[in-house]
């Protein structure tokens, strides 16, 4: 029997502001859409945190035995600088600055995104659609919104009439904003825009002559508005009504609010049952962001090459650091915090090794079924990974007392204990054993020291062909040997 039948999963729904029992639309199946990256530059560690939160959620749903269709898109057009309607497309701007074809920019940063996700042990989504691959679907949605009287054309662009929509629906229900306040707090358009109301948003924008990213449409040669792509791609692959929609907290308004409005204006149906928002990663108390430079890149974590870091950290230590906070809490990054996380991670991995050596006895002195139940309760309570980790450290304590024979487990309990620890550590939290950078650095240094000793032996035996060969091979790998009067040292 799949585990989801015996586990009551609660999810915090941003739409209701409450934790709700998760009931999928189709029993045993989950449709989940998560807004992907805008591929105009390298993802920073903040972006990685949001995607990692949803990777953990995806993994737990799979662990519970759900058949999950997880769609995460690539935004390769339509996202305007500063998240507004007027201005330059983020990708077009980068292409202009670097004198590249926009799709070269898209390709470069999509490849980089995939490399980072692989490095950090992400599961790939089931479908990864691109906005430019779904222009036809977006045009069809605009046609329906216009036909339903909520969209209007002005000078080749098409806008969503928020005021008209709000007469029959509720614009602001996700973000808790109220349209009257929004209208009162925005400047008059002074005739500078084609919009009827300042809150209206673009469904289609007519491209200026110099704008290179353009497609034909019934209204003009132009490009779709940013919010539209997610409405088009989520419904295409998950249907007009699906289970979960996720993204970073900063996407709640306007992006997700506009998505709901578009869906409702197009199909008359509210699209999503559970809206989930992951909270921000901050650095020195400020949001990590590409635009402000207040960020760390994932590769800088792996090499230690950032002013904010004292050394390198492995992908698994970084993951462990992230998972120690609940996905809905703000997490502040600091060198001290990740150094502490590395110690915790190493203790956990040591216990996972020691667990393999434990032998069963005739009786159990630890209540494993209760401990296991508490692990599941933590995750069933809105994916509470920090409480799960506290439970796993209770597991570490069990390993230690089992190892020094002050506790015992029957073979059945030992089997349940081992399976549960492995499932949560490796499958759900996706930590990898032996991937701590201090571990692998120590191993690498050991191997180089061994080669230096072999080279010294070769030189003592006057076998200079071999000693030179060792030195040259190391240089080819980027390892430089330096002979001094106190012996040979090396630099990487």
Q: Helices 102-119 and 90-98 meet at what angle, rounded to 10? A: 110
Rg (CA), the chain: 27
Contacting range for ligand AMP; rule: CB under 6 A; set: 42-50, 101-109, 164-172, 407-415? 42-50
Cis peptide before 155 (omega within 30 of 0): no
| Residue 422 C-beta: closest distance to Zn ion, Å | 35
Please name the helix (run of DSSP H) or strand (run of DSSP E) that holds residue 411, with its range, or none.
helix 411-422
Among 10, 287, 328, 459, binds ligand AMP (CB under 6 A): 287
Instruction: Check whether 266 is labelled as a binding-site residue.
Output: no
Residues constituting the chain: 492
What's the rounded Cα separation, in Å, for the pair 287 and 175?
Answer: 20
Instruction: Check whether 290 is labelled as a binding-site residue.
Output: yes
What's the rounded Cα separation, in Å, for the pair 359 and 380?
Answer: 31
Total of chain residues touching ligand AMP, rule CB under 6 A: 17
CB nearer Zn ion, residue 110 or residue 220: 110
Given Zn ion, ligand AMP, none, residue 230, with its beta carbon under 5 to 8 Å by kind, binds Zn ion
| Residue 280 C-beta: closest distance to ligand AMP, Å | 4
**Closest residue to ligand AMP: CB criterion:** 248
247 touches ligand AMP by CB under 6 A: yes
User: Which phi and psi angles does 385 have, rounded to 5°?
Assistant: -65, -35
Contact in structure between 345 and 320 (CB atoms under 8 Å):
yes
| Residue 110 C-beta: closest distance to ligand AMP, Å | 12
248 touches ligand AMP by CB under 6 A: yes
38 touches ligand AMP by CB under 6 A: yes
Given Zn ion, ligand AMP, none, residue 235, with its beta carbon under 5 to 8 Å by kind, binds none
49 touches ligand AMP by CB under 6 A: yes
47 touches ligand AMP by CB under 6 A: yes
* Residue ranges in 197-216 that form contacts with Zn ion under rule CB under 5 A: none
| Residue 72 C-beta: closest distance to ligand AMP, Å | 10
288 touches ligand AMP by CB under 6 A: yes
Given Zn ion, ligand AMP, none, residue 46, with its beta carbon under 5 to 8 Å by kind, binds ligand AMP
Given ligand AMP, Zn ion, none, residue 395, with its beta carbon under 5 to 8 Å by kind, binds none
Burial letters 17-43, b for 16+ CB under 10 A, else e:
eeeeebebeeeeebbbbbbbbbbbbbb
Closest-CA residue to 198 (of 319, 116, 301, 85): 85
Contact in structure between 127 and 73 (CB atoms under 8 Å):
no
Contact in structure between 202 and 86 (CB atoms under 8 Å):
no
52 touches ligand AMP by CB under 6 A: no
Contact in structure between 378 and 423 (CB atoms under 8 Å):
no
What's the rounded Cα separation, in Å, for the pair 420 and 440?
Answer: 27
CB nearer Zn ion, residue 44 or residue 227: 227
* Sign of the torsion formed by the C-alpha atoms of 331, 332, 336 and 339: positive
Q: How do strand 281-283 and strand 286-287 relate by DSSP bridges?
A: antiparallel
Contact in structure between 49 and 322 (CB atoms under 8 Å):
yes
Among 11, 15, 30, 35, binds Zn ion (CB under 5 A): 35
* Residue ranges in 325-384 that form contacts with ligand AMP under rule CB under 6 A: none
What's the rounded Cα separation, in Å, for the pair 55 and 49?
Answer: 10
What's the rounded Cα separation, in Å, for the pair 288 and 491?
Answer: 33
50 touches ligand AMP by CB under 6 A: yes
Q: What is the dihedral of CA 470, 471, 474, 480, to 10 degrees?
A: 160
What's the rounded Cα separation, in Å, for the pair 375 and 367?
Answer: 13
151 touches ligand AMP by CB under 6 A: no
CB nearer Zn ion, residue 71 or residue 162: 71
| Residue 118 C-beta: closest distance to ligand AMP, Å | 18
* Interface characters, 59-88, with ligand AMP (x: CB under 6 A): ----------------x-------------
| Residue 251 C-beta: closest distance to Zn ion, Å | 6
Closest-CA residue to 232 (of 195, 183, 271): 271
What's the rounded Cα separation, in Å, for the pair 433 and 388?
Answer: 18
Instruction: Check whether 255 is labelled as a binding-site residue.
Output: yes
14 touches ligand AMP by CB under 6 A: no
| Residue 217 C-beta: closest distance to ligand AMP, Å | 24
Among 61, 203, 230, 260, binds Zn ion (CB under 5 A): 230
Instruction: Check whether 35 is labelled as a binding-site residue.
Output: yes
Among 52, 135, 251, 341, binds ligand AMP (CB under 6 A): 251
| Residue 186 C-beta: closest distance to Zn ion, Å | 23
250 touches ligand AMP by CB under 6 A: yes
What's the rounded Cα separation, in Å, for the pair 356 and 75?
Answer: 45
323 touches ligand AMP by CB under 6 A: no
Residue written as token pair 């305007």: 80
* Sign of the torsion formed by the C-alpha atoms of 377, 346, 125 and 280: positive
Instruction: Check whether 63 is labelled as a binding-site residue.
Output: no
Binding residues for Zn(2+), by number, are 35, 230, 255, 259
Binding residues, by number, are 35, 230, 255, 259, 290
Binding residues for ATP, by number, are 290
Which residues are near ligand AMP by CB under 6 A? 35, 37-38, 46-47, 49-50, 75, 247-248, 250-251, 280-281, 287-289
Which residues are near Zn ion by CB under 5 A? 35, 230
């Amino acid at each position: 029997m799949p585990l989801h039948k015996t586990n009551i999963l609660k999810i915090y729904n941003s739409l209701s502001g409450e934790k709700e029992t998760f009931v999928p639309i189709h029993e045993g199946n989950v449709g989940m859409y998560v807004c992907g990256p805008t591929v105009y530059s390298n993802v920073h560690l903040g972006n990685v945190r949001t995607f990692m939160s949803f990777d953990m959620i995806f993994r737990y749903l799979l662990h519970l035995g759900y058949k999950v269709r997880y769609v995460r898109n690539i935004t390769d057009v339509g996202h305007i600088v500063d998240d507004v309607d007027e201005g330059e497309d983020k990708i077009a701007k980068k292409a202009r600055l670097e004198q590249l074809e926009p799709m070269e920019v898209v390709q470069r940063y999509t490849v980089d995104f995939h490399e980072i996700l692989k490095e950090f042990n992400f599961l790939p989504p089931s479908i990864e659609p691109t906005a430019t691959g779904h222009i036809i679907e977006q045009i069809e949605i605009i046609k329906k919104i216009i036909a339903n009287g909520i969209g209007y054309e002005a000078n080749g662009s098409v806008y969503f009439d928020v005021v008209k929509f709000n007469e029959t629906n509720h614009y602001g229900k996700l973000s808790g904003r109220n349209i009257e306040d929004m209208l009162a707090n925005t400047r008059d358009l002074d005739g500078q825009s084609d919009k009827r109301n300042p809150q209206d948003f673009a469904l289609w924008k007519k491209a200026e002559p110099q704008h290179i990213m353009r497609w034909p449409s019934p209204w003009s040669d132009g490009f779709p508005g940013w919010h539209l792509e997610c409405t088009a791609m989520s419904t295409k692959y998950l249907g007009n009504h699906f289970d979960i929609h996720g993204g970073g907290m900063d996407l709640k308004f306007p992006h997700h609010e506009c998505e709901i409005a578009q869906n409702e204006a197009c199909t008359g149906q509210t699209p999503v049952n559970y809206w989930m928002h992951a909270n921000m990663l901050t650095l020195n108390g400020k949001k990590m962001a590409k635009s402000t430079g207040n960020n760390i890149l994932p590769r800088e974590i792996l090499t230690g090459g950032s002013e904010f870091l004292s050394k390198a950290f492995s992908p698994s230590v970084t993951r462990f650091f992230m998972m120690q906070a609940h996905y809905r809490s703000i997490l502040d990054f600091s060198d001290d915090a990740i150094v502490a996380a590395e110690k915790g991670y190493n203790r956990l991995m040591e216990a996972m090794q020691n667990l393999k050596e434990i032998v069963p006895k005739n009786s159990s002195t630890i209540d494993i079924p209760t401990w296991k139940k508490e692990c599941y309760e933590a995750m069933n309570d809105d994916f509470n990974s920090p409480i799960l980790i506290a439970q796993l450290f209770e597991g570490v304590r069990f390993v230690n007392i089992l190892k020094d024979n002050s506790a015992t487990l029957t073979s059945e309990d030992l089997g349940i204990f081992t399976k549960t620890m492995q499932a949560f550590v490796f499958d759900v939290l996706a930590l990898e054993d032996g991937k701590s950078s201090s571990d692998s650095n120590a191993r690498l240094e050991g191997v180089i020291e061994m080669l230096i000793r072999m080279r010294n032996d070769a030189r003592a035996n006057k076998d200079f062909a071999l000693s030179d060969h060792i030195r040259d091979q190391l240089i080819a790998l980027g390892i430089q040997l330096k002979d001094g009067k106190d012996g040979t040292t090396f630099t990487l």
